[in-house]
Amino acid sequence: MSPLPHLARLPVLILIVLVVSARTLLASPLISPNDAKTGSLMIKSETPGQYVEAPAVATDFDVTVTGPIIRSRLTQYFVNPANGWVEGLYVFPLPEDAAVDTLKMVVGDRIIIGDVKERIEAKRIYEKAKSEGKKAALVEQHRPNLFTNSVANIGPGETIVVQIEYQATVRQSNGKFSFRLPTVVAPRFETPAAPQPVVSVSSEAPAVVEDAQKLPDAKPWLDPDENDPVNPINITVHLKPGFKVAALNSPHHKVDAQERDGEHRITLSKMAFAEKDFELEWTAAAVDVPQAKLFRERAGNEDYVLVQVTPPAAAKATPAPAREAIFVIDNSGSMAGPSMVQAKASLIEALDRLQPGDTFNIVRFDDTLEVLFPTVVAADAGNISTAKRFVASLDAEGGTNMVPALAAALKMDNQSNPAAIRQVIFLTDGAISGEQQMFNLIAQRRGRSRIFMVGIGSAPNSFLMNRAAEMGRGTFTHIGSAEQVAERMAELTSKLTSPAVTGLAANFSARGVKATPDPLPDVYAGEPLYIYARMDEVKGKLTLSGLAGSDNWLKTLDLANAEPGSGIAKLWARREIANTEVNRTLGALNYKQADAMILKLALDHQLVSRLTSLIAIDKTPARPEGTPLRPVDVPLNLPAGWTFEKVFGSKTPVKEASAFKAIAVASKPRVHDAQRLLALPEGSTPADLLLIIGLLISLAGAASVTASRRMAS
C-alpha cells in the first residue's frame, strides 16, 4: 500500500486532532493510569503523575479467530500537535486473559519494534534511551488486564502509529461463543509540560488543570455544536471457529459477513466510532456426536497441539438426570456488603432451579460451619422454603475457613442415590486461605462429586478458584454484580443439568507429551473442551474416552491431521505460567524457582508478564539535526486495510462516551447507612497488661526462690 495517501491526509488528521482538543477544553479532568477505562495516549501534564489523554484519531482492529484463539492487532494513529517534544503514556485495557506479545510503533518517521525483556532490564533500557533523546517504547503489565505503553521523545507535530498485538481466547457461555473488543472513547488532549521522568504516580492530590491557555490554536474550533466524528474504528474479523456456525451476531454494530471455505469474514457495514465496545457472538450448529478438532503450531524445537472437543447438543428430549446438589456458601467477614447480597441472591436463584426428584443440602461457613439438614433432602417446597429462610438469615462475619466446609460437602455423599449427578456448588468471594489443603482435599475426596466454584464480587484468587473447579471437574462462574446473578446462575444451572460427556480421559500414543488440563473436566452441551499439549513432534494418536449419557464414547484422533493454527504455543505458555504460579502458591516451587520458570516461558514465547515487558528502542538511526527526512522510512510499518475515504467522509454524530463518567461513578461514596452501623473496633491489645502481670509474677517467684535458698543456708 502506498504511503502517499496517508501523508496527504495528515493535515486533515491534524485538523481533527485540534477539533477534538477543543472539545476537550469543556471537560478535561486529569486522570492517572489506573483510572483509564479505554485505550488512550496520555500526555504528562504539569502536575506530576497526572496525565491528559491525547486523541486516538482512528483505530483499526484486525482480529483473527482460529478455534478458541483470538489474535488481535490494533493500530492507532495519534498526532502530537504541540510545539515541544513529549513523552506519552499509552494506557490500554485488554481482555483479562489477553497476552500482549507484539509492539510496533511508527513515531513520525521512525519505526520501533518491541522485544520482550526482563521487566527491570526493559525499564533500564527505556530510561537510558529516553535520556539520550532516542525514541523508545515500553509496554508493561500494569494490572492483569491493564497495560501501559510509555513512549519517549515524540517530536513536534509528529504522527505516531501504535500497533499492539495480543492473544486472547474466545469466551464460551451456554453454547454461545463471543469476544469483545475494548475501543477508545472520547479523547482528551493537552500539551505537556517539559518531559519529566516516567513515574506513574505522584504524591500530589489530583488538581484541576487550567487548560484554556494551553492550546490557543484550538480556540477557533471550539463550537459546542461541532460534532464531527472522532475516533473512527475499522474492524475486520477473520472467523475460523473450527465448527459449523449456526448463527452469527454482532449485538452492538451492523456488520457484513461473508463465508468462504469455513472462514467468515466480518466487517462493519458502515463506519463506526469508538463509543461502545464491539462484540461478536456465534453459536455452533448442533451435532449428534462429540466432534473433535485439532490445531498445531511449531515454535522453537517443539510442536504445540490444541484439541477441541465439541459435545452433542443438549436437548435430546431425554429427561435430565436427577441431581444431588450441595451448596456451600461463604458468610465470612470479607463477604460483607454487596458480595453477601449477591451470594445470597445467587443461592436462592439456584434453589429455585432445583427440580422435583433432585436432592440438596446447604453448608455455610465462616470460621465455623453449619450444615442445614442432617443429610441431603428432597427438593420439595417445604425444604426449599426452609433453605431460603436459612439463606436469608445469613450475616457476613468471622474468618474464612473453607476446607472443613468443602470436606463436609464431599463427605455428605451417602451414595443413597448412585444414579444422581452429585454437584458441590461453592459460593465464595475467592479469598481462599489454605489453598494447599483445598487442592489436597479435592484430589483425595472428590469421589463422584463435581465441584462448581461461583466467585462472588471481585475474586482476586480467581485463578485458584478456576483450578479448584478444574480439579473438581466442574466450572468456575464469576458473578461481578447483582445484575449478573440471574443470568449467570441460569447459565450455570443449564450446565449443571446437562453434562454431555463425563469421565473424560485423554491418552497420547507419543511419549513425553505435556498436556493440560489434567484431569479433564466434564464437557457440557454446546461448550467445547480444549486440551493443550506440547510434544517434540506432532505424531501418533490421541484417544479420548468418556461417557456420553450412559453410552461409552470413544474418539481416536490422528494428530498428523492437525490443521496449522497460530498462537497455540503462546496459549500453552500462558497456561504454563499460570500453572507455575499455582505450584508456587501450593509450595511445590519457591519464588525463585517459579520466577525463573515464568521468566523463561515468557522470554521463550515473547509474552508480557509479571516479570517481563516489551521494550522498543529506536532501531533506525535517530535523525540528525537538519537532515531531511527520507520518506521511504514511513510506509514500512503502516497497517493495511485503512480506508480513509470512509473515515473522513462520514458526518454521523458521535456520542461523547466518556471514561470520566465511569470514574465519577466509581468514586461516588458507596451508599451505606454506615453512620448508624459504624462502630469502632477494639483499639488495644492486652500486650502491656500481660507483660506487667507476667513480669510481676516472675519477680515474685524469683523472690520466693531466693528466700527459700537463704533459709536453707
Partner 1 sequence: MTRLPRRIGPVLGLIAIVLGLTLAGNGVWIKAKAVLAQVLLERAFAETVKTGVPVKAWRWADTRPVARIRSNRLGDSAIVLAGGSGEAMAFGPGHLSGTPKPGQPGTAVIAAHRDTHFRFLKHLRRGDELSIERDDGMRFRFQVSGYSIVRWDTPGIDVTADGHNLVLATCWPFEAKTPGPLRYVVHAQMIE
The DSSP element (H or E) to which 247 belongs, if any, is: strand 245-249
The answer to whether 423 touches 361, Cβ cutoff 8 Å, is no
Which CB sits closer to partner 1, 636 or 690?
690
Which CB sits closer to partner 1, 230 or 432?
432
Which CB sits closer to partner 1, 269 or 436?
436
Local structure of residue 135 (DSSP, 8 states): -
One residue of 460, 480, 503, 635 binding partner 1 per CB under 8 A: 460
3 state DSSP class of 605? coil
The DSSP element (H or E) to which 693 belongs, if any, is: helix 687-712
- Choose the binding region for partner 1 from 15-23, 54-62, 332-340, 343-351 (rule: CB under 8 A): 332-340
Cell of 298: 511449531
One residue of 64, 172, 200, 637 binding partner 1 per CB under 8 A: 200
Is 588 a binding residue for partner 1 by CB under 8 A? The answer is: no
Task: Name the residue with cell 462475619.
Answer: 397
The rounded distance, in Å, linking the Cα atoms of 529 and 475 is: 12
Is 375 a binding residue for partner 1 by CB under 8 A? The answer is: no
- Choose the binding region for partner 1 from 75-83, 164-172, 488-496, 684-692 (rule: CB under 8 A): 684-692
Least separation in angstroms between CB 458 and partner 1: 9
Identity of the residue numbered 124: R
Per the document, the length of the chain is 713
Least separation in angstroms between CB 585 and partner 1: 7
The rounded distance, in Å, linking the Cα atoms of 665 and 642 is: 36
Instruction: Give the footprint of partner 1 on residues 499-518 (CB under 8 A).
Output: none
Least separation in angstroms between CB 339 and partner 1: 10
Which CB sits closer to partner 1, 131 or 698?
698
Least separation in angstroms between CB 687 and partner 1: 4
Which CB sits closer to partner 1, 552 or 684?
684
Least separation in angstroms between CB 205 and partner 1: 6
Instruction: Give the footprint of partner 1 on residues 46-85 (CB under 8 A).
Output: 49
Which CB sits closer to partner 1, 300 or 701?
701
Instruction: Give the footprint of partner 1 on residues 136-165 (CB under 8 A).
Output: 141-144, 146
Instruction: Give the footprint of partner 1 on residues 380-409 (CB under 8 A).
Output: 399-400
Is 681 a binding residue for partner 1 by CB under 8 A? The answer is: yes
Phi and psi of 669, rounded to 5°?
A: -65, 140
3-state secondary structure 433-495: CCHHHHHHHHHHHCCCCEEEEEEECCCCCHHHHHHHHHHCCCCEEEECCCCHHHHHHHHHHHH
- Choose the binding region for partner 1 from 28-36, 572-580, 624-632, 642-650 (rule: CB under 8 A): 28-36
One residue of 585, 606, 612, 613 binding partner 1 per CB under 8 A: 585
Least separation in angstroms between CB 147 and partner 1: 10
Is 628 a binding residue for partner 1 by CB under 8 A? The answer is: no
Residue 704: how many other CB atoms lie within 10 Å: 10
Measured torsion, CA atoms of residues 647, 648, 653, 655, in degrees rounded to the nearest 10: 50
The DSSP element (H or E) to which 294 belongs, if any, is: strand 291-299
CA distances from 171 to 69, 279, 281, 308, 463 (A): 10, 11, 9, 14, 16
The rounded distance, in Å, linking the Cα atoms of 460 and 291 is: 35
Identity of the residue numbered 344: K
Is 12 a binding residue for partner 1 by CB under 8 A? The answer is: no
Least separation in angstroms between CB 208 and partner 1: 9
Local structure of residue 186 (DSSP, 8 states): S
One residue of 3, 195, 333, 540 binding partner 1 per CB under 8 A: 333
The rounded distance, in Å, linking the Cα atoms of 103 and 113 is: 6
x/- site string to partner 1, residues 688 to 707, per CB under 8 A?
xxxxxxxxxxxxxxxxxxxx
One residue of 38, 334, 498, 580 binding partner 1 per CB under 8 A: 334
Is 592 a binding residue for partner 1 by CB under 8 A? The answer is: no
Q: Give the number of residues in contact with partner 1, rule: CB under 8 A.
A: 74
The answer to whether 284 touches 241, Cβ cutoff 8 Å, is yes
